[in-house]
Every structure is written in structure tokens, then in C-alpha cells.
Structure 1
Amino acid sequence: MSDTTPAAADTAQARSHPRALEPVTLILTVVLSVLGAVIGLVLITTLGIAPNTSVIGALIAMLIGRLSFAALARMRDPHRQNLVQSAISGSTFAAANSLVTPIAVPFLLGEPGLVWPMLGGAVVGLLVDSWVLYRVFDSKLLPASAAWPAGIAAAETIKAGDEGGRKARLLGISAVVGFVGSLFKLPMSAAGVAFLGNIWALLMFGVGLLVAQYAPGLLDTDLSANYVPHGVMIGAGLVALVQAVLMMRDRKSSRETTPPGQAADVFDEANRTVDRGRLRRGLLEGLVLFVAGALLIALMGGVVSEMSGWGLVGWVLLAGAAALVHQLIVGLAAMHSGWFPAFAVTLIFLILGLVLGIPMVPLALLVGYAASTGPAFADVGFDFKAGWLLRKGALPWHPYEMAGRRQQYIAQLVGFAVAVVVVMIAWKPFFADGRVPPVAQVYVDTIKAGLTDTHALTMMVLWAIPGALIQFFGGSSRQMGVLLATGLLVATPQAGWLVLAALAVRVAYSRWKARGGGDAPDEANAQPDADNDLALVGAGLVAGSSLNDVSQIYKAV
């Protein structure tokens, strides 16, 4: 095992970042992307889950790198491993969440002829989704320094494999705990993210999980049936969008990034690589492209014949805005908690469409289009976070970071392309066999049932008020309202207790370190030392949980 860390290797001399399209890397990327897409399709259509396969990709790439055969030894490079894990996780989420779930909606609605138009729209949604994240990652809205828990898990796995020693042992033990806990149906990833993110945001996430678990029994009411979580998310989401707009509106000349050749030569967590101008342009570009994609779906899917002229214009604008809002809300939730409530946020737009009286087929296409965005946005953020952590020691840092991020994006596009091909081949036999994503069936059942009264709208408007207030007073950096709503919507049993217990351990361990506990060298380094240990434990728990999710493939085949 080499004692040279990725950071030390990069610091030794300035070098170019490995390319995603190098023959060996590309071949391995395509092969593992096929594996990821198949795993995603099988699990989403049988168990209703889409596992994070980035850790699996990292482990396989590390094992291949240990081979001394021909050019395979080049995969020992942590940055090549990062490219491969980016592609396999991208192909998994693309196939499961962004492609097969949207096309299942028109199929289950009895409109198989709309599957191909919906697939075309979903591909547009997927590509724009990833493009927007590539443009705005490491901005004030979506900083690289935020949690992005699955990204930390992938990066720590790669670094532990390269460095070995205490770090590998701590990560390995934590991964075993995460895996074994998951075997007993405990949501260990929830505990893992509590070691990694903003304490206030995760506290609200844990509170939301506990309320969702115990409120039905204590209050004798079904929160979801009364649309309480949806209302809280609407209020919090609207305030979060206003906060995002305010970030973009600031046109002050002060720089948020440091020009190359100055301090950007050395990594600094406070030095963001995307300023407000690029954030503003990236989101506006995304809105325009999403609207264009909605127009394409309208033309291919026959929405033109279902709606009047002004109705068509309204549908296109609503679909484009829904896609952008959906990706931002899902992305913010994933950034802090590692969980993205894509199903519930899509359901909000579905109910809005019912309230507006949108006909059945156009509504199904709108729901499918919104559902195609968000998960890939979050997944690309996880992978960029992993790369950002692996590249911190490079000199000069800024150009290496930007080059590495570009290569990761290219690797993601390869994974997406593989996912599209796999879905094009597999959807007919899967659907013919009755294997469709459970969430798609819920969307279709809701569309068919319609709204019999104004109860849903009234409850969502009512509960939007506390959601908006919590988000407003918590501020954009904590996303407390969005995370509370995420906990209410996820509603995973026992997850709230694990989150709060992990937060308690985190606070206690940090204080113990600050008082000179363990081997902290001095008071100044006590907190960074505690943060490093906690990050390894959290990453291991997330990695172990992800490994268990992927292992569930045996139940589905």
C-alpha cells in the first residue's frame, strides 16, 4: 500500500488531469455504466429503490488498478477512479430515476404511443439537469464545501484505498457497521449524513423524520393523506427560490473567485470557483433549455391537439418552470441530507396540474418531465464533491480543479449515454412483464382519481405558512425549512432517532477533542482532527448502506 496521498502526489508537481476519454478509462467506464444502468433498472422496478453505485464503482476501479497487467495499472490513479465512479453512479440514477420512471407514466395511463416522445423529453431533462449543475456547482447557492454526503463517502473510499493505515481501518469498520445495520433494516445512511452536514439543517431533518414517524399514532392523523409534508415543502421551497434569486440579483463588483495566478494556486475552501454572474447565467440558461424541452414534448406528444393556443403556452411555461424548480428543491435537499424527495415534489406539481384543470395526457407528460429532473442534478453534485475533495492538494489548484470537473462531466455524459441505450432496449420487456417503478403507479393513480374537493389545496396552502417561516428565519445556508419538509416526506422509520443520536455523538466527540482528548496535537487542530474522524465514520456508514442497497439485486432477479 502506498503511503503517498492523492494530495501529496498532486503537490509534487503540476500535471494535467487524466482524461475521461482515454481508451482504458473509457472502456472501463462503459462496462461499469452498463452494470450500473441494469442495477438501477432492476431495483427501481422491483424494490422501488435506486442505489448509489458510486462506491461500488470506486471499489472496482481500485481493484482493477491493483492489477499489474498492461495499462490497467493506470487505474491506481485516484482521479481515474473518480472518473469511473462518476460515470457508474450517473448511469444508475439516469436509468432508474430520470428515464424509466417518466416513461412509465404514459404507459400505465394506457398511452404506450407516448412512451417514445416522453423518453425524448426525459433525455432532454436529464441533459439540462446535469448541465445546470455543471454550471453552478460551487456557487453560493450550491457550494462544494456543503455536505453532499454520498460524495464524501466516495472520496473517502478512494483515499482510504490509496493511503491505507488508520484511515482505511476507520472507514472499513464504519462501513461494516453501516452494512450490518442495514441488514437489520436500520437506515444507516441517515446516521452517516448526520456526521457530515450542517448541524442545524440535519437537526430539522431529524425532527421531520420523528414527526412523520410518531404523529400518526399520537395525533391519530395521516400527515401525507392531509398533504401536510407537501404544504411545508411548498412554503419552504418558495422561500428557498426567493433566496436563490436574491443571490443572483447581487451585481456587486466584488469577486467571489480568485483569479488564477494569485491565491487560487492553493486550495482554499472559502474561494468558490463559480461567482454570482455564472450562477445567474447557469440558472437562466437552464430555464430556457427546460422550456425548449417542454415545447419539444408538446409537439411530439400531441399536447397541441389537447389544448388551446394560450393553454399550450401556459403548459410549456409551467412544465419548464416545474423542471427547474424541481431540480433546485431536490438538489438543495440532497446537498444537505443526502436524501432527495423527488417523488413528493413531483406529486406537488401533479396536484397543481389537477387544480389548474390540465387534461389527463398533458398532465401525465408534465409529471414525467418534472420527474426526469432532480436526481441526476443531485448525483452530479455528489460526484463533483468527491472530485473536489480528491483534488484539494493539487498545485496549481484552480486550473486542476476546473479541468477535473470538466472531465468528470464528460464521464457522466458517457454514463448517461449508456443509460439511454439500456433503457431503449429494456423498457418493453420490463413493462410487458409488469415491472414498472412503484412511484409511477402512484402518479397515474392520482391522475385518474383527480381532485374530488379542495381539501388538498387548502391543506397545502395552510401548511405552507410554517414551512415558509422556518426557511426564512433559518436562512439560505441552513435550508432548515426544506430539510424539515424532506424529513416529513421521506418518513423512514427509526431514521430520526439515528440522525439525532449521530448529531449527539458528533457534538460530544468534538467537545472531547477540544478538551485535549485522544491524540489531538493542540487546541488549534482539535476541531479539524475531530471533523476528519467524523467524516470518515459518516462516509463509512453511507458506503456500507449503499453496498447493502446494491446487494439487494439478488431479491429482484
Structure 2
Amino acid sequence: MTTSQSAPPEAAPPTHPRAFEPVTLVVSAVLAVLGSVIGLVLITTLGIAPNTSVIGALLAMLIGRISIAGLRKMRNQHRQNLVQSAVSGSTFAAANSLITPIAVPFLIGRPDLVWTMLLGAVIGLAVDSWVLFRVYDSRLFPASAAWPAGIAAAETIKAGDEGGKKAAVLGVGAVVGFVGAMFKLPTSAAGVAFLGNIWALLMFGVGLLVAQYAPTTLHYDLGANYVPHGVMIGAGLVALVQAALMMRDRNAKKQAAVVERQDGRFDADFRTVDARRLRRGLIEGMALFVVGALVVAIGGGVAADMGGFGLVGWVLLAGVAALVHQLIVGLAAMHSGWFPAFAVTLIFLILGLVLSIPMIPLALLVGYCACTGPAFADVGFDFKAGWLLRKDAVPWKPYEMAGRRQQYLSQLVGFAVAIVIVAIAWKPFFSDGRVPPVAQVYVDTIKAGLTDSHAVTMMLLWAIPGVLIQLLGGSKRQMGVLLATGLLVATPQAGWLVLAALAVRFGYTRWRRSQAATKEEADAVAETADNDLALVGAGLIAGSSVHDVGQIYKAV
């Protein structure tokens, strides 16, 4: 049987490189050790967890220039994406999801509970990444959203492969980002402003400025009056309701129509995860978080301090707190590239104090809550990078789903390495007094307790504007969550950089559109302008990330 000339035979679908290919696996594991060590050293000395995605991509590129032992395979963009996924996953897992939670029982005076907390943190880390894998590119967490660090990683990989003007622009942006970071300027904040939703980032910048100047100009201590925490509570509650509404199937038919593209090419309007899978992913996550909480509760002897009914209540609270913490941190990271994990954990700590949870169960609750969120955000960043690199594949959807699965497996490689490194290193680190500063803050807050109802009153009061602003912006803008993120992050000068970058972005796009003769030309020009600025933003983030990783010399 012959094929007619009008219908040429379909090309075989491309095969995505696999995470467990010998060369890719070895390179990923070796660099993941480096990422884990960097994460541990910096989080316990300087209190930062650097994004090592760009570093992993750069190292994979360099390895690809070696012509022995099959290392030339690392010239492939998708293999570089797998390696950077493993490296960044190991860094955030070691620093945020493992060493920080287990430091809490150690500092509270119960080193015997470290291994129990580590087991709970491992479960939390596993569930964290699994849920993101299940719900990524849904209406709640779309791949088309900003995920700024992911854009930086993807543009770095593409620039290294293509060279030319793109590499030059990215390189200039990276130099500016690196130099700015050397002078203590949060240049990554400006980079984010070139990439995300303008309204969400505007609220993020406003929150940063308010946090910076309110104590001096208004003589009002936002932290002492729990303003950021209250705004986040109000915005977070509305965000959770909005998330629940997104799990409905009302757009299933519309989405199914979008799926049908005869040419098999990429479609930015199509979501690979529908409402049903989103709903199942979150329900599965809730169930698994409760199981993990039960393991921690039994191993930590929660029943001895709280009784049988108290044990049940603690397990349910810990499971809900882990899921809520994950979602709020994920939404903030998706839009702004920053995740207020410390502050959201502090909210649940204060809730535990209000409920009069005893010290040891409360310390375990805080540790379990703290282990979720950062890995969720990091996997999202890496999936975004892969999504951008795979857009040109035909047929696109099978290649995208296969690539995402391989990235998830690479993340698991990074997590496994981080677990081993933390299990070996925690005792000498803690014995030497090297503990994450945020863990010390948690323990100090637990020991201080609540002396009056001031905290609860102020949080309830400031939750009202959080509710209103989140409702005003809707689920796509997340204005309330981003305002609270800015208030909580409170990085000096970051607000000015965000607003300045937004002004440049607005002015540059308007100028480019004014040169077009028709609306169609104006739309095309605006898209080109966005791509130009995205490349600059990616460079700023990449340069800032390289600087953060370079800070390891201060810690060793």
C-alpha cells in the first residue's frame, strides 16, 4: 500500500532523553552532591538557599564539551534540562525541606526526635513534588504563568546552544545582575518584573516598599503587629476558595476542543492537566500529607502529650497545614519567583500557640509544615524550563508529557542524593552550631509563646484587606497573595527595582506598539517586545543566582 502525495507519512514522534541513561544519571548524581553541599553550607551560615538551576545548566554545558565517555551527549538541551532539574532539586531539598525541619526538634532540646522528623520531612518532600507533578499546567498552576527561575534556566540553556544575539543579551543581563548583587541590590527582583503578570508584580512591589518604609515613615512595626501575616491569612483563605472553584469541570468541553490540533503543534491555550486531574492530585496530596503526619505523630510520641483525641486533631491539622502551606508558597513562587515559606510556617506556629499545643508536638508540627512548599516551587521552576525547551516538538503534547515525567525522575535523583547528604551531615553541622537561622526563630517563638491576644486580634484585623484585595484581583492575578509576599519578604530596595522594571516594561512595549501600522502588527510587535524583556529578565536572575552560589566562599 502506497501513501498518496497529498498525505505524506507521519514522522516518528521524537523520543525524549531519559533521566536514567547512564551518562545523564551519573552527571546528575555527581552535580546533585555539589548542589546539596552548597545548599547545606549556605542555609546554615548565611541563611539563604540559592537557586542552582543556572549553575547546573552551565556545568552540564561544559561537560558536554568533553569528548570522552559519551559526555558529548550532554550537549543536548533536554539532557541539560534534566541535569539542572536534579541539581536545583537537591539544593532546595537539602536546605529547605530537610535540614531546616530537623533543626527544630534539635534546638528545642530533643535531638532524639531528629530522625523521626527527618522521616517526616522525607515524606513531606516526596508528597510535595508528587502533587506538583500531578497538578502542573492546570488552571491553578499553569505552565504559561511566570515561574521566573524556570525562564532564566531555559534561556540560559538556549543561549548556550544558539549563541549569537540571544547569548549576548542574556550575558549582558547576567553581568548586570551579578554586579548589582555584589552591591547588595536584589537584581533578581527586577528580573522577575520583566517576566510575570504586571498586576501581581505591582502588588508585590508595593508590598516590598511598604515593608521597607512603614517602620521609619509611619513609625509602625509591621512585623510586631502581625500585619503581613494577617494579610496573608486573608488572601490565602480566598486563594484556597478560588483553588477549589478551579477544580470544577465546567470548562472541560472547551478544553477538549482546544486539544484537537491536527498539526500536533504547541498551543499556549491548552492545559495538559484538566480539572479532574487537578482535583485528584490535591485530594491525593491531602491524604498523603495526613499519612506523613501520622508517622511523625507516632514516632514523636504526640499522644503522650495530647491524648488520643489530641493526636487525631494534631494529625489532621498537620496534614491541612502542609497542603495549605504548599499551595500558598507555590502560588507566590509562580508569580514572583519568591516564596514566603518562613512566614507562612510562622502563621501556623502562631495558630498552634493559640490552640495551646504543647511544646514538643508544636515543634514537630512546625517542622512538618516547613518541609513543604520550597520543593513544590522548585519543581515548578524546572518544569517551566522544560516546557519552554520542548515547545517546538511535533507532536508536542506526547513529548511534553514524556519530558515532564523524565524531569520528575531527575528531581527524585536530586532528592535521593540530598537525603543521603543530610543524613550524614546533620550531626556534625549541628554539633558545630551550624543551624538554619529560620529554625532558631521558630524555636525562640515557641519558647516565648503568646503573652496576650494581641497577635490574634491584629491578624484577624489585617486579614480583611487581604481578603478584599485577593477578591479584587481574582485567581489569575493573585494580588492579595503577592502583596502579602512583598510584606513578608521585606527585602530592602527590591520594591524600587520591581516598580522601575515594570515602568521600563510598560514604556518599552508602548513605544514598540506605537511604531506599528495595524492592530495585528501592534500585537506581534508587543509579543516581540515581551520576548526581548524576558531575555533581559532571565539574565538578571541568572546573574543574581550565580552571585548567590558564589557566596559559599564566605561560609567555608
TM range (shorter): over 0.9
1:511 and 1:266, CA in 2 relative to 1: closer, same or farther beyond 3 A? same
Query: Residue 486 of structure 2 aligns to which amino acid in structure 1?
Result: G
Query: What TM-score does the superposition give when structure 1 sets the normalisation length?
Result: 0.96
Match in the other structure for 1:115: 114
Q: Distance in 2 between matches of 1:316 and 1:435?
A: 30
Query: Residue 124 of structure 2 aligns to which amino acid in structure 1?
Result: G
State the Cα deviation string for residues 144-201 of structure 1 (Å, max 9, x = none).
Answer: 0000000000000000001111000000000000000000000000000000000000
Q: Is the 8 A contact 1:40 1:92 kept in 2?
A: yes
Query: Residue 361 of structure 1 aligns to which amino acid in structure 2?
Result: I
Q: Is the 8 A contact 1:212 1:491 kept in 2?
A: yes
State the Cα deviation string for residues 104-127 of structure 1 (Å, max 9, x = none).
Answer: 000000000000000000000000
Match in the other structure for 1:472: 471
Match in the other structure for 1:126: 125
Q: Is the 8 A contact 2:36 2:94 kept in 1?
A: yes
Match in the other structure for 2:82: 83
1:69 and 1:347, CA in 2 relative to 1: closer, same or farther beyond 3 A? same
Match in the other structure for 1:284: 283
1:106 and 1:263, CA in 2 relative to 1: closer, same or farther beyond 3 A? farther
By how many angstroms is 1:222 displaced?
0.9
Match in the other structure for 2:509: 510
Q: Distance in 2 between matches of 1:13 and 1:171?
A: 34
Q: Distance in 2 between matches of 1:211 and 1:233?
A: 15
Query: Residue 269 of structure 1 aligns to which amino acid in structure 2?
Result: A
The 5 Å alignment of 1:286-435 reads 286-435=285-434
The 5 Å alignment of 1:167-182 reads 167-182=166-181
By how many angstroms is 1:256 displaced?
2.4
Query: Residue 362 of structure 2 aligns to which amino acid in structure 1?
Result: L
By how many angstroms is 1:262 displaced?
3.7
1:496 and 1:288, CA in 2 relative to 1: closer, same or farther beyond 3 A? same
Q: Distance in 1 between matches of 2:536 and 2:91?
A: 25
Query: What TM-score does the superposition give when structure 2 sets the normalisation length?
Result: 0.96
Instruction: Establish whether residue 162 from structure 1 lines up as the match of residue 161 from structure 2.
Output: yes
SS at match of 2:195: coil
Query: Residue 427 of structure 2 aligns to which amino acid in structure 1?
Result: K
State the Cα deviation string for residues 405-450 of structure 1 (Å, max 9, x = none).
Answer: 0000000000000000000000000000000000000000000000
The 5 Å alignment of 1:41-190 reads 41-190=40-189
1:269 and 1:253, CA in 2 relative to 1: closer, same or farther beyond 3 A? closer
State the Cα deviation string for residues 25-81 of structure 1 (Å, max 9, x = none).
Answer: 000000000000000000000000000000000000011112222411111100000
By how many angstroms is 1:253 displaced?
4.5
Q: Is the 8 A contact 1:258 1:271 kept in 2?
A: no
Structure 1 unaligned residues grouped into runs of 5+: 1-10
Match in the other structure for 1:34: 33
Match in the other structure for 1:556: 555
Q: Is the 8 A contact 1:260 1:399 kept in 2?
A: no
Q: Is the 8 A contact 1:178 1:541 kept in 2?
A: yes
Q: Distance in 2 between matches of 1:12 and 1:374?
A: 41
Q: Is the 8 A contact 1:255 1:275 kept in 2?
A: no
State the Cα deviation string for residues 222-279 of structure 1 (Å, max 9, x = none).
Answer: 1001100000000000000000001113456515256877458110110010000000
Q: Is the 8 A contact 2:96 2:374 kept in 1?
A: yes
Structure 2 unaligned residues grouped into runs of 5+: 1-9
Q: Is the 8 A contact 2:258 2:269 kept in 1?
A: no
Q: Is the 8 A contact 1:264 1:397 kept in 2?
A: no
By how many angstroms is 1:531 displaced?
1.0
By how many angstroms is 1:523 displaced?
3.3
Instruction: Establish whether residue 543 from structure 1 lines up as the match of residue 534 from structure 2.
Output: no
SS at match of 2:17: coil
Q: Distance in 1 between matches of 2:13 and 2:382?
A: 23
SS at match of 1:256: helix
Report the identity percentage: 78
Q: Would you say how many aligned residue pairs link Structure 1 and Structure 2?
A: 545
State the Cα deviation string for residues 198-231 of structure 1 (Å, max 9, x = none).
Answer: 0000000000000000000111111001100000
Query: Residue 284 of structure 1 aligns to which amino acid in structure 2?
Result: I
Q: Is the 8 A contact 1:257 1:273 kept in 2?
A: no
Q: Is the 8 A contact 2:252 2:275 kept in 1?
A: no
1:252 and 1:14, CA in 2 relative to 1: closer, same or farther beyond 3 A? closer
By how many angstroms is 1:472 displaced?
0.7
Match in the other structure for 1:531: 530
Q: Distance in 2 between matches of 1:191 and 1:442?
A: 29
State the Cα deviation string for residues 352-392 of structure 1 (Å, max 9, x = none).
Answer: 00000100000000000000000000000000000000000
1:117 and 1:263, CA in 2 relative to 1: closer, same or farther beyond 3 A? farther
1:264 and 1:109, CA in 2 relative to 1: closer, same or farther beyond 3 A? farther
Q: Distance in 2 between matches of 1:479 and 1:509?
A: 25
Match in the other structure for 1:495: 494
Q: Is the 8 A contact 2:230 2:458 kept in 1?
A: yes
Greater displacement, 82-91 / 250-259: 250-259
Match in the other structure for 2:6: none
Match in the other structure for 1:3: none
Q: Is the 8 A contact 1:251 1:277 kept in 2?
A: no
Q: Is the 8 A contact 1:264 1:398 kept in 2?
A: no
Q: Distance in 2 between matches of 1:429 and 1:255?
A: 56
SS at match of 2:382: helix
